[in-house]
Amino acid sequence: MTRRSLALYVGRRLVALVLLVVVISFVVFSLLYLAPGSPEQILLGARPSTPETVAAIRAEYHLDDPFLVQYWDWARDALQFDFGRSIRTNEPVVDGIRERFWLTLQLGGLAFLITMLLGVPLGVLAALRRRTATDRGVVALSVVGVSAPAFATGILLLYVFAVRLGWFPVFGEGSGVIDRLQHLALPAIALALTGMGLVLKLTRTAVIGSLEQDYVTFARARGIPRRRVLGAYALRNGLVPIVTAAGLLLAYMLAGTVLVEVTFALPGLGSLLVESVRTLDIPMVQALTILIATIVVLVNLLADLVYVAIDPRISFEKAKA
């Protein structure tokens, strides 16, 4: 793709991001509206209440307004970046998210690094030793990480490394760089395990595919050393699936982060989202969804751009007939 068409492409994607945000905010708002229960019932908890209290709370959050009016009220404020106050905790939504954002980012980032630094080399190893016990074993181990739920692997890690060996603290997020790293090590490993299978298997498949190409045979026939063939040819041409896998780690992490946060007592965005959904905390759910949608789009866009960087032949333009 030419530089210009690439710039246009990025521009179009960003416009699409805005559209996506609008659409998804409407859809999620509707889902919250359709969900059984309503915020005041959840706020009142398990107490019998007087009709006046119910009415007062409903009035405060405009819950009796028609659906579209409620949505528009929210949207109008959101357009000015005022995401309102959490119904559940009363604090400004933005403050609530900001406090937890960095922790989740650090946890996710660390897990991402671990997954890539372990998954790719192991995938290459499995490809080189394909069909041997090493291959089967490595694949099987990576699948363990995917199939075992994060709370199980989390507790196992805790028991072995935090309790028996005492190398890490049991819970919490710590403060200060070294302390934070120590606290996030085990949770990051638990989270990394869920995505490891994907990276490993896709790397393995990609490298196997590359190794079977004609150019590899020719390169070997010309006497190019094995390592160079592997690095410069086989791996490089198998990079696209690896990049895809890296981008998809986000999906696995989004799913796994809640379980890890609960197991290791980390106040992160995952648990915030779950708790907000359960309590029908409309402003918070809306804001979190927009945040997640933005991250998703940016990650996918980044992955697509990396495709082009790896292989300039790739183009997103319409296929010429």
Cα gap 249→192, rounded to integer Å: 9
Question: Whole-angstrom Cα distance, residue 28 to residue 311?
Answer: 37
Rounded CA gap, 55 and 288, in Å?
28
- Say if CB 106 and CB 177 are below 8 A apart: no
* Calpha distance 315→313 (Å, rounded): 6
Q: Which of 138, 300, 309 is nearest to 239 (CA)?
A: 309
Q: Closest separation between CB of residue 207 and other proteins, Å?
A: 10
Determine if 38 is a binding residue for other proteins (CB under 8 A). yes
From residue 316, give the alpha-carbon distance in Å to each of 37, 87, 299: 45, 43, 17
177-211 and 150-157 are packed helices; what angle lies between their axes, rounded to 10 degrees? 120
Task: Kindly write out the interface string for residues 49-88 of this chain, putting x where it contacts other proteins by CB under 8 A and - elsewhere.
Answer: xxxxxxxxx--x------------------------x--x
Touching other proteins, residues 132-151 (CB under 8 A): 132-133, 136-137, 139-141, 143-144, 146-149, 151
Q: Of residues 166-195, which lie at the interface with other proteins (CB under 8 A)?
A: 166, 169-175, 179, 183
The residues in 15-34 that bind other proteins, with binding defined as CB under 8 A, are: 16, 19-20, 23-24, 27-28, 31-32, 34
Binding residues for other proteins restricted to 196-255, rule: CB under 8 A? 197-198, 201-202, 204-206, 208-209, 211-214, 216-217, 220, 226, 229-230, 234, 240-241, 243-245, 247-248, 250-251, 254-255
- Of 252, 257, 120, the C-alpha closest to 195 is 252
Min dist. Cβ of residue 292 to other proteins (A): 5
Cβ-based nearer residue to other proteins, 76 or 220: 220
Among 235, 279, 283, 287, binds other proteins (CB under 8 A): 279
Q: Residue 95 in contact with residue 229, Cβ under 8 Å? A: no
- Does 161 sit near other proteins (CB under 8 A)? no
Q: Is residue 36 involved in binding other proteins (CB under 8 A)?
A: yes
